[in-house]
Amino acid sequence: MPASPSSPRSPSPPALGWVFLDRDGTLNAAAPPGDYIERPDDLELLPGAAEAVRLLNHAGIWTGLVTNQRGVALGIMSMDDVRAVNLRLTELLGLENAYLDDIYVCPHDIGVCDCRKPEPGMMLRAQRENPGLEFARAAMVGDSAGDVLAGQRLGMTTVLIAPGGQAPGEVIADHVVEGPLQAAAVVLRTARA
């Protein structure tokens, strides 16, 4: 029986207009455990990554990068190295008509800041810089428990990239997908909901 005009209705979830993407393991191949993407030549886009970003761009969804780069704190690389790698990422995306609206980097070691995921500091900074950003209308896409937890702390839709469906640890994301193109498809479905 349809609800009468005076009956309260549960609000439907808002459409997504904002997406945060992790970098290593989400857009580009991750370095082996304990290693870092130190040089632009080390960066290799994952299959479907540029197309995924382009689809988000064409849908009018703000698309930002949030990446932990602990190698800076460990002295393995400098912030200039990180900027050079990120520049290579944007160049490779640009070759396929895709772009990132902004890039946020945490160069700190574990436990010394509020920006290293799973802490939400990079996303909160993005909100300060983009006052229209509503986390209830945002998604976090990444390949680690830290990515998912950072999104959950702000009430975002979470999408975990886990090839083979193997989720790390006990983390439970809203969606688990094979790769970046499937993640974009989930975001776009949610954006149209």
For CA atoms 180, 183, 187, 189, the dihedral sign is: positive
Residue in this structure with the two tokens 């580009």, named with its chain if needed: 28
Reply yes or no on whether 22 is catalytic.
Answer: yes
162-to-38, 55, 106, 165, 179 alpha-carbon distances in Å: 24, 20, 23, 5, 7
Catalytic-role residue among 24, 81, 143, 147: 24
Reply yes or no on whether 101 is catalytic.
Answer: no
172 closest CA partner among 187, 154, 158:
158
Under 8 Å between Cβ of 106 and 115: yes
Catalytic-role residue among 22, 81, 143, 147: 22
Q: Which residues are catalytic?
A: 22, 24
